[in-house]
Amino acid sequence: MITVDDATGILNRFSLDRRTYVELKDSFGRVLAEDIVSGIDVPSFDRSDMDGYAIRDRDLDGRRFKLVGEMHAGGDLEVAIGDGECSWVATGANIPDGANLVIPVENTEKIGDDVIVYESGKESHISERGCDMKRGEIVLRRGCIVNDRNIGILAALGIRDVPVYDAPNVAIISTGDELARINDVNSMTLSAIVAQSGGSPVFMGTVTDDISHVKQKIKEAAECDVIITSGGISSGKKDLMPIVVSELGEVLFHRVKMRPGMPMLAGVIDGKPILCMPGNVTSCLVCGHVFLPPMLRRMAHLPFAGNVRRARLSEAAVSEYGMRRYLPVKLVDGVAYPTFRGSGLITSIGYADGIVAIGEAETLREGEVDVWVL
Amino acid sequence: MITVDDATGILNRFSLDRRTYVELKDSFGRVLAEDIVSGIDVPSFDRSDMDGYAIRDRDLDGRRFKLVGEMHAGGDLEVAIGDGECSWVATGANIPDGANLVIPVENTEKIGDDVIVYESGKESHISERGCDMKRGEIVLRRGCIVNDRNIGILAALGIRDVPVYDAPNVAIISTGDELARINDVNSMTLSAIVAQSGGSPVFMGTVTDDISHVKQKIKEAAECDVIITSGGISSGKKDLMPIVVSELGEVLFHRVKMRPGMPMLAGVIDGKPILCMPGNVTSCLVCGHVFLPPMLRRMAHLPFAGNVRRARLSEAAVSEYGMRRYLPVKLVDGVAYPTFRGSGLITSIGYADGIVAIGEAETLREGEVDVWVL
């Protein structure tokens, strides 16, 4: 038996560095696999920030300008202005040749073909070519997560296919003859944890406690980057996973100093990690939360940080000596109420908002504790 | 011009109560549209929690039991035990008729056909039929968000199609002749905000500043539950949205006391909300964050709570009198650095982690402020 920390450390050896391209519209939430270098100047021309009149600032002593053209956003007219001339410019329009100042329309009056300027501020109201992003500039770094703001940077550059780290494909298999009689819970709970850890769950279905069937299923699953099974890791006659993993690969650890989840096994098959969770539904969920997010988020190049909140534990709780205990709790008005009633019952964790970890030789009295919010 | 709070209040009138069914595997993150009532007892039989021997507790005075059968998880053998008899039971197996106590295997020794019990604890190690969930019990309430734990409750009940609230379909249209020359940024940033607010973005593409084309596009978009446009709401000749919305429906408000984002317009067409964002990319993103999450999350039946963190503002900032200012900031080691350089530049918000709101007649000095984390 090894400690949770040692088990987690062993799983740290697994990484993934596969890259792919996704369409810009699908890149939200993904992790950039390359630095993004701007291929263009943004804006690609000197652009008016206001509706108004473009003039030459050296002409400002005069207050009356002759209107010689109109520039609209997206228009392809070319206007050049000279001494004492002005051109209408809409917001977003190209600045006419010769102009270097925009007078907002509200500070002007149009009289016939002339424009009178009443007030000119300090600002030019011009966004110069490249002032947003310059061609050749690194605008986003590898490892950056695409969000609702920086996706705008990618869009502004006209990037259609975004280089991202590939999400680890995670094969999920539930084992056990009992699945002929009861509903498979673990495939669903594990796939939800996989999805929120940046992985892509691949449902492989269920398999009975028949060693050749189990081996066949695992071999198929080894196409994926990670294999997760549940069931078959205790010491009963039908607990085949320790045999299967050692025959197809190597067992890295079996039995972890934790409750629930003690029978937990991990191994490696064809270089891929295989995590064998207990069949008991709450044990499986706890092991899923303890072992999957750190490993999968690292493989997905996503940051991992548990969300911890202080709360008052409603009753004293103790760990079994030498074992770390994971106590599911429901949070109500800052109080953490334990929900655990047995590792085989889904309602032991089905209504929980978080988990309180109790150290290997620790008693928590009522009072303030750290709750790991799920 | 109306205040941000009044504008938000007006958008509060829109709701959506359409329900649908999704497959269990697709229900993660969705909101239950009905109470879930258990149709079965879970477990559906008295179930052993341990590998061990099932006996009758009244026989415990004797320490030697005759082994008369084996029960495996998922097996369909029926075993009945009588006086002084025991049956092997695996974890998850049915308890034999007559038995009411399981002695864990580690507390026993098998000698020939007999089993010697060395120690019996206080626990029965039996999960009685229905102890997890009882048939007829309400196990999850309408409005509950499906997560990695309670999806296990749905799975345990064998629910395949889950009743959920439909996500609002949100049509996204970018308007403006300039989109022939520059890349469309607003469709991407708005769709990301829509997605993280529980809506389904529907890309409608771009449309030039031609009133018949704009109207046609809006009519197509009215198939969706919400319409969002960007561009065309200022006072220029080509700013058509105020006319289009008033001709196809009703303008609810136009111009909001906020910077950036002042030209913002909202209306109603065929009972559907239409939100017309400014075309400037940072103005559009700010309006998206201010107006979309509260409205869309309510329509999606998701809770809405802004994520606020305290940070030290790196420099003083002031709002224009009567206008609420939204200042994008980058958070570095607890310090909020303003990133705003102009509402038409995507880098004004592209690197921001949050927004500092500055009240309508407020100056923020350097020091602690609330940052609305995006």
- Give the CATH number of the domain where residue A337 resides: 2.40.340.10
Looking at residue B210, its pLDDT comes to 95
B350 with A236: Cβ contact below 8 A: no
From B121's Cα to the closest Cα of chain A, the distance in A is 16
Looking at residue A238, its pLDDT comes to 79
Residues of B in contact with A341 (CB under 8 A): 131
- Does the pLDDT value for residue B76 go beyond 80? no
DSSP A178: G
In a domain, A132, yes or no: no
As a whole-number percent, the residues of chain B with pLDDT over 90 amount to 87
In a domain, B72, yes or no: yes
Instruction: Choose from B32, B127, B148, B341 for mutation: most chain A CBs within 10 A.
Output: B148
Q: Are B31 and B165 in contact (CB under 8 A)?
A: yes
Residue A9, CB-side half-sphere exposure with 13 Å CA sphere: 6
How far apart CA A176 and CA A230 sit, in angstroms, is: 8
* Total domains present in chain A: 4
Task: For residues A305-319, give the mean pLDDT.
Answer: 93
Q: Are B200 and B226 in contact (CB under 8 A)?
A: no
Q: pTM here? A: 0.94
- Which residues are CB-neighbours of B123 under 8 A, at least 6 positions away? none
Q: Please work out, in degrees rounded to the nearest 5, the angle formed at the alpha carbon of residue A285 by the alpha carbons of A284 and A290.
A: 100
How far apart CA A239 and CA A169 sit, in angstroms, is: 26
As a whole-number percent, the residues of chain A with pLDDT over 90 amount to 87
Same domain, B197 and B293: yes
From A13's Cα to the closest Cα of chain B, the distance in A is 26
Residue A349, CB-side half-sphere exposure with 13 Å CA sphere: 33
B149 with A374: Cβ contact below 8 A: yes
Residue A203, CB-side half-sphere exposure with 13 Å CA sphere: 13
* Rounded alpha-carbon distances, angstroms, from residue A128 to A101, A364, B259: 11, 63, 22
Q: Residue A145: which domain range?
A: 19-42+137-165
How far apart CA B245 and CA A203 sit, in angstroms, is: 47
- Does the pLDDT value for residue A77 go beyond 90? no
Looking at residue A91, its pLDDT comes to 86
Looking at residue A141, its pLDDT comes to 98
At B194-253, the pLDDT tens digits run 999 999 999 999 999 999 999 999 999 999 999 999 999 987 777 899 999 999 999 999
B51 with A236: Cβ contact below 8 A: yes
Looking at residue B366, its pLDDT comes to 82
Out of A28, A153, A289, closest to residue B346 by CB: A153
Same domain, A195 and A276: yes
Same domain, A217 and A327: no
- Does the pLDDT value for residue A225 go beyond 90? yes
In a domain, B132, yes or no: no
Out of B177, B203, B349, closest to residue A149 by CB: B349
Q: Are A281 and A346 in contact (CB under 8 A)?
A: yes
Of all residues in chain B, the one with the smallest CA distance to A353 is B149
Task: For residues B142-171, give the mean pLDDT.
Answer: 98
Looking at residue B122, its pLDDT comes to 81
A238 with B73: Cβ contact below 8 A: yes
Predicted ipTM > 0.90: yes
Looking at residue B120, its pLDDT comes to 80
How far apart CA B206 and CA B258 sit, in angstroms, is: 26
How far apart CA B35 and CA B19 sit, in angstroms, is: 13
In a domain, B257, yes or no: yes
Same domain, A26 and A151: yes
Domain stop point among A279, A299, A319:
A299
Looking at residue A142, its pLDDT comes to 98
Task: For residues A56-65, give the mean pLDDT.
Answer: 86
As a whole-number percent, the residues of chain B with pLDDT over 70 amount to 100
At B241-285, the pLDDT tens digits run 999 999 999 999 999 999 999 999 999 999 999 999 999 999 999
- Which residues are CB-neighbours of A111 under 8 A, at least 6 positions away? none
> Which two three-digit tokens encode residue A3?
């400690």
Looking at residue B59, its pLDDT comes to 79
Beta bridge partners of A87: A54, A69
The residue type at A97: D
- Does the pLDDT value for residue B58 go beyond 90? no
Cα B158 vs. chain centroid, distance in angstroms? Answer: 23
At B297-332, the pLDDT tens digits run 999 999 998 899 999 999 999 998 899 999 999 999
> Which two three-digit tokens encode residue B267?
């209306």
Compute φ and ψ for A111, nearest 5 degrees: -125, 105
Residue A224 belongs to domain with CATH number:
3.40.980.10
How far apart CA A277 and CA A275 sit, in angstroms, is: 6
* Rounded alpha-carbon distances, angstroms, from residue A143 to A13, A108, A148, B328: 19, 49, 16, 22
In a domain, A272, yes or no: yes
Looking at residue A23, its pLDDT comes to 98
What is the count of residue pairs from A and B with beta carbons less than 8 Å apart?
228
A342 with B155: Cβ contact below 8 A: no
Residues of B in contact with A157 (CB under 8 A): 183
Same domain, B143 and B264: no
Q: Are strands A335-338 and A307-313 parallel, antiparallel or unpaired?
A: parallel
H or E element, residue B242: helix B241-248
B44 with A182: Cβ contact below 8 A: yes
Closest alpha carbon to B162 in A188, A203, A352: A188
Residue A112 belongs to domain with CATH number:
2.170.190.11
> Which two three-digit tokens encode residue B204?
């409608």
Looking at residue A121, its pLDDT comes to 77
Q: Are strands B265-269 and B317-318 parallel, antiparallel or unpaired?
A: unpaired
Residues B312-329 as b or e (16 or more Cβ within 10 Å = b): ebeeebebeeebbbbbbb
How far apart CA B145 and CA B309 sit, in angstroms, is: 25
Looking at residue B245, its pLDDT comes to 98
- pLDDT tier, B340 (very low <50, low <70, confident <90, very high otherwise): very high
C-alpha torsion sign, points A154, A156, A157, A159: positive
At A157-212, the pLDDT tens digits run 999 999 999 999 999 999 999 998 899 999 999 999 999 999 999 999 999 999 99
Task: For residues B78-89, give the mean pLDDT.
Answer: 92
- Does the pLDDT value for residue B117 go beyond 90? yes
**DSSP string covering A225-277, please?**
SEEEEES--SSSTT--HHHHHHHHSEEEEE-BSEES-TT-EEEEETTEEEEEE
In a domain, A103, yes or no: yes
At A342-370, the pLDDT tens digits run 999 999 999 999 999 999 888 888 889 99
Same domain, A103 and A153: no
**Rounded mean pLDDT of chain B?**
95
The residue type at B215: K
Cα B332 vs. chain centroid, distance in angstroms? Answer: 28
Q: Are A163 and A33 in contact (CB under 8 A)?
A: yes
Helix (H, G, I), strand (E, B) or coil at A159: coil
How far apart CA A261 and CA A233 sit, in angstroms, is: 10
- Which value, to the nearest 10 degrees, does the dihedral of the CA atoms of residues A185, A189, A192, A197 take? -150
Same domain, A154 and A27: yes
From B316's Cα to the closest Cα of chain A, the distance in A is 21
Looking at residue B167, its pLDDT comes to 97
Residues of A in contact with B289 (CB under 8 A): 148
Q: Are A286 and A345 in contact (CB under 8 A)?
A: no
- Does the pLDDT value for residue A71 go beyond 80? yes
Same domain, B113 and B153: no
B238 with A90: Cβ contact below 8 A: yes
In a domain, B268, yes or no: yes
Q: Which residue has the tokens 């917001």?
A: A91
Looking at residue A241, its pLDDT comes to 97
Same domain, B171 and B58: no
Out of B76, B150, B185, closest to residue A156 by CB: B185
Task: For residues B139-155, give the mean pLDDT.
Answer: 98
Same domain, B161 and B174: no
Looking at residue B244, its pLDDT comes to 97
Same domain, B283 and B176: yes
Helix (H, G, I), strand (E, B) or coil at B189: helix
Same domain, B32 and B161: yes
Beta bridge partners of A2: A256
- pLDDT tier, B193 (very low <50, low <70, confident <90, very high otherwise): very high
Domain stop point among A100, A127, A154:
A127
B156 with A181: Cβ contact below 8 A: no
Residues B40-65 as b or e (16 or more Cβ within 10 Å = b): bbbbeebbbbbbbbbbbeebeeeeeb
How far apart CA A289 and CA B290 sit, in angstroms, is: 34
Looking at residue B2, its pLDDT comes to 97
A90 with B281: Cβ contact below 8 A: no
- Does the pLDDT value for residue B24 go beyond 90? yes
How far apart CA A152 and CA B183 sit, in angstroms, is: 10
* Rounded alpha-carbon distances, angstroms, from residue B294 to B5, B6, B11, B197: 12, 13, 9, 8
**How many residues comprise chain B?**
374
Is B225 exposed, middle or buried (CB count within 10 Å of its CB: 0-12, 13-18, 19+)?
buried
Reduce the secondary structure of A360-373 to three states and give it as a string: CCCEECCEEEEEEE
Q: Are A268 and A351 in contact (CB under 8 A)?
A: no
Residue A31 belongs to domain with CATH number:
3.90.105.10
Cα B16 vs. chain centroid, distance in angstroms? Answer: 16
A74 with B178: Cβ contact below 8 A: yes
Helix (H, G, I), strand (E, B) or coil at B328: strand
In a domain, B133, yes or no: no
Domain stop point among B283, B299, B315:
B299
